Copies of this chain bind each other. A is one copy, B any other.
Amino acid sequence: MDQVNLKRLAKELNLAISTVSRALSDSYDISEGTKKKVLALAKKLNYQPNPFARSLRNRSSKTIAVILPEIANNYFSVAINGIEEVAQANNYHVLIYITHENLQKEADIVRLLLNGRVDGILMSLSGGPEDTDHLKELQESKVPVVFFDRVSDTIETAKITTNNFESGYLATSHLISRGSQRVAYLTYSGELSIEQQRMKGYMESVSKRGLLFREEFIVCCNRNSAENYEKIKELFSADGRPDGVFASVESLAILAYEVCSELNLRIPEDVKIVGFSNLRTASLLNPALTTITQPAFNMGREAAKALFEALKKPHIKMEDQTIVLRSNLIERRSTAAN
């Protein structure tokens, strides 16, 4: 029974619980004298208010959730940094959930959070179709959500993205301008909005630059699959193999490097490669990888900011906080002209 709570403080000071409570919250109608006494004792006993009693009473948890498809990936870890910074500044706690690209898990997690455990959610979708039940339930609940990077097209709320279409266009055009004639596109399922945007940019560039569009140059990989390596190897082994590759995801760019190494294809002489990536070591690769780099930290920060804005001003429209940031093409040796 050495719990330090309001009751204990009140008893030791011969005050009512309510008085102590108000003294601690610096209420106007408490005399300076008692305030000081209360604060002194609270400090001495190291009083820490019980967070659950508070949350129960106030219907607010001082906690947000971050739902991610994966984490061992520089983009998401850096984004978390941005989120965490804003959360700490707002005295909020951050719960983390990883879906491992598994829609069912994503659904379970979302449902877990609709009972008031968190005041808001930051989310980057796992791959797959977007019109899912759990997203609808999420929308119907009043828990505010901000999507970042892998956003939902179907839900109206704040979304933090980058200019994916333009980046896809730019990456492809960059390859072409450096001499690639047969440009392949590596992607995952393609059901996510951002994947479609990037692909559209690729297609547009291919067609505008007058390249021949080839079905077999679009390689659709599976997340969490060991077969992707083989798929890419096949692409590179065929007659009329590509001489340029645009990887829409970091992990596929890495696979492409590994395949090239096995097949003794020289980068950039035989194949030029550009990929979406936030790798710290992109410039140290062999050869240095040309990347489309997203402002991961800022995306996390802006997403968190948008959420806290909504928490502070419940009346504002989430949609109005949508932001499109810019990714950068950083040219390195993997796309050097021959």
Contacts and interface: CB of A to CB of B under 8 A. Distances in A.
A63 B287 CA distance: 45
Interface in A50-71: 50-53, 55-56, 61, 63, 71
A76 B96 CA distance: 14
B98 A81 contact: yes
Protomer copies: 2
A254 interface: yes
Interface string A246-288: 0000000010011001000000000000000001110011111
Given A52-B61, A286-B287, A96 B96 contact: yes
Contact of A281 (B56, B80, B96, B254): B254
A71 B61 contact: no
A93 interface: yes
Contact of A84 (B98, B257, B288): B98
A115 interface: yes
A48 interface: yes
Interface residues of A, number: 43
A49 B115 contact: yes
Contacts of A258: 284
Q: Which of A49, A96, A287 has the most CB of B within 10 A?
A: A96
Contacts of A97: 84, 94
Contacts of A55: 52
A114 interface: yes
A52 B63 CA distance: 12
Given A81-B71, A81-B72, A116 B285 contact: no
Given A76-B77, A254-B284, 10 more contacts: A48-B111, A50-B115, A52-B61, A71-B84, A72-B74, A72-B77, A94-B97, A257-B284, A284-B285, A286-B288
Interface of A: 48-53, 55-56, 61, 63, 71-74, 76-78, 80-81, 84, 93-98, 111, 114-117, 254, 257-258, 261, 279-281, 284-288
